[in-house]
Structure 1
Amino acid sequence: MLMIATTLVFAIQDGLSRHLAGEYNVMMIVMIRYWFFAAFVIAIAKRYVGGIRAAARTEQPAVQIIRGLLLSLEICVMVAAFTILGLVESHAVFTCYPLLVAALSGPVLGEHVGWRRWAAIGVGFIGVIIILQPNGDVFDIRALIPLLAATMFAVYGLLTRYASRRDTSATSFFWTGVVGAVTMTILGVWFWEPMTGPDWFWMGCLCITGVTGHWLLIRCYEVAEASAVQPFAYLQLVFAATIGIAIFGETIGANVAIGCVIIVAAGLFTFWRERLQG
């Protein structure tokens, strides 16, 4: 239930991001969002034993900085994809990121990837190829934007797994928020523009959903194994598609629906294999 709630909140967050990024610069929107996120992780860090100093202590600052930088830029790319392609097609392509994690876990982390998992990865990318032909065109290069975001997020996830070998989750969470806030402030402050009163309300909602989503995710991982609840993360695609259709008037093409089914099936098989080997 916590994971389902998390995916719903994140889908709402994506809908708010799509609206605001359609009116204002993406960099500014993500910057303000990160300010609240940084305040949240600092508040969380203060509650741990040793406070902020303990949370910030790391033996691998370069890895932590790269993680935070990569995630902040990935969010910018994905929000831009929402405004260019819409929620439905962006999330349809982004859904392949667990397969990218599985594919890259060998060269990045030295983990063994068996032939069954490689087969699932191959099948999943057949689904991606199907989606990369929106509206019946031979190829739409715009669909590479969420694919880039998925690749960035997959590398971020692998670096997080790598960092966890020597740092606590609290330390990684702290660096994610702080590095992201610093990065987006440096990039986003140049794109500042005045917002209307109603849009400040939606901006506040965006910040609240961001904090709430991360809090729910933390609570979820406190009471359940990540591998057990991860398959429910695919519900974010369902919720985001519902918002895209109901609020933004988007449509789901046959190729997108078929591609999504293939990707989700391949992803679920990959999670199942990981649990068997775990």
Structure 2
Amino acid sequence: MTEQNTRAAILLMILTTFIFSVQDAVSRHLADNYNVIMIIMIRYWFFAAFVITVAMRSAGGLRAAARTRLLGIQIFRGVLLAAEVCIMVLGFVLLGLVEAHAVFACYPLLIAALSGPVLGESVGWRRWTAIAVGFIGILVILRPGFHVFAPAALVPLAAALCFALYGLLTRYVGREDSAATSFFWTGVAGVVVLTPPGLWLWEPMSPADWGWMAFLCVSASFALYCLIKVYEMAEASAVQPFAYLQLVFASAIGLLVFGETLEPMTILGAAIVVGAGLFTLFRARRKASLKHHRRLP
């Protein structure tokens, strides 16, 4: 893997996080006016069509993409991601982009904390310390006694937990299934679980908002394609820290477009959370590097 590929992957990761941030803003606009589940259902219709198209064009076609001995876990992964998207968009409506993303930034810490019970990985005292520090950052953002006991404050935390479990289960099924299989079941399981309640909660949408909906669907598929290319070009540990830029981009959009405020305690708490998350990524990368060197003759 060349240094040039890594640089290109980092630039593409930055572009991807920006697109995701714009998507979040559009999702918030639509969810302010329509039912959240209906919005995400329509998005998943397009996503599922994209996933099936990719599977049909890959080697072996649909049958190869769908083949798995871990069907239950693959379906559960897809349901988890669909739930995470719905919960997070609800968080945008209740808390705004700035605060919701500041809290959601703790998901790498949750992945580190849950990697032991879910994957059987060992978590050393340094990473446990970073996890504890990160959650102190969450308390700083939520300000105990003010927001922390409000139900709205738990929404992005619930989304972060769903996304962390989704990430861990993706690593688990990745031991046996290809990325194409996991991608296929993510789209199919999500669309199946969202369509019945989404149709039940259907609301008429204005022509202008259908335009925003079309933009959301197309941009979501494009961002996912970019993300796939990122991980084809470079190791995840090299590009993952740049995913935190979504917090910066989403906060800027929240301030400029939605008139949200950026309070000093939110900045401090987010800095603590991101710093702790970057440390856990660094420790995981170092640990993987040491294992690799030990295996060398």
The runs of at least 4 consecutive aligned structure 1 residues that moved more than 4 Å come to 134-139
Change (3 A) 1:235 1:138: closer
Match status 1:100 vs 2:110: yes
Counterpart pick for 1:157 among 167, 183, 194: 167
Q: Which residue of 2 aligns with 1:222?
A: 232
| Alignment check: 8 A CA contact 2:22 2:250 kept | yes
Structure 2 counterpart of 1:13: 23
Q: CA deviation at 1:140?
A: 3.4
State which of 177, 183, 191 in structure 2 corresponds to 1:181: 191
Instruction: Name the residue aligned to 2:3.
Output: none
Shift of the alpha carbon at 1:136?
Answer: 5.3
Instruction: State the TM-score, normalizing by the size of structure 2.
Output: 0.92
Structure 1 equivalent of residue 60 of structure 2: 50
Contact 1:68/1:180 (<8 A) preserved: yes
- Spell out the pairing of 1:71-150 with structure 2 (5 A cutoff): 71-133=81-143, 139-150=149-160
How many residue pairs end up in the alignment? 278
The question of 1:22 aligning with 2:32 is answered yes
CA separation in 2, counterparts of 1:222 and 1:81? Answer: 32
Q: After TM superposition, give the deviation of residue 139 of structure 1 in Å.
A: 4.3
- Which residue identity is paired with 2:160? A
**Residues of 2 paired with 1:138 and 1:20: CA distance?**
26
Q: Deviations over 1:22-41 (max 9, x none)?
A: 00000100000000000111
Structure 1 window deviating more from structure 2 (96-105 vs 134-143): it is: 134-143
Q: Determine helix, strand or coil for the equivalent of 2:121.
A: coil
Opposite residue 43 of structure 2, the aligned amino acid is R
Contact preservation (8 Å) 1:30, 1:75: yes
Q: 1:269 aligns with which of 275, 279, 296?
A: 279
Contact 2:141 2:266 in 1 (8 A): yes
Gaps of 5+ in 2: 1-10, 289-297
**What residue is the counterpart of 1:167 in the other structure?**
177
User: In structure 1, what is the equivalent of residue 257 of structure 2?
Assistant: 247
Partner of 1:196: 206
* Aligned residues of 1:95 and 1:150 also touching (Cα < 8 A): yes
Task: Compute the displacement of 1:132 (Å).
Answer: 1.5
- State the Cα deviation string for residues 122-158 of structure 1 (Å, max 9, x = none): 1000001111128955743311100010001101111
Is 1:212–2:222 an aligned residue pair? yes
Q: Which residue is equivalent to 2:294?
A: none
Report the counterpart of residue 35 of structure 1 in structure 2: 45
Question: So what's the TM-score if we normalise by structure 1?
Answer: 0.98
Instruction: Tell me how far 1:270 sits from its aligned partner.
Output: 0.6
Decide whether aligned partners of structure 1 residues 239 and 138 sit closer, same or farther in structure 2, where only a CA change above 3 A counts.
Answer: closer
Given that residues 147 and 153 in structure 2 are in contact (C-alpha distance below 8 angstroms), is that contact kept between their aligned partners in structure 1? no
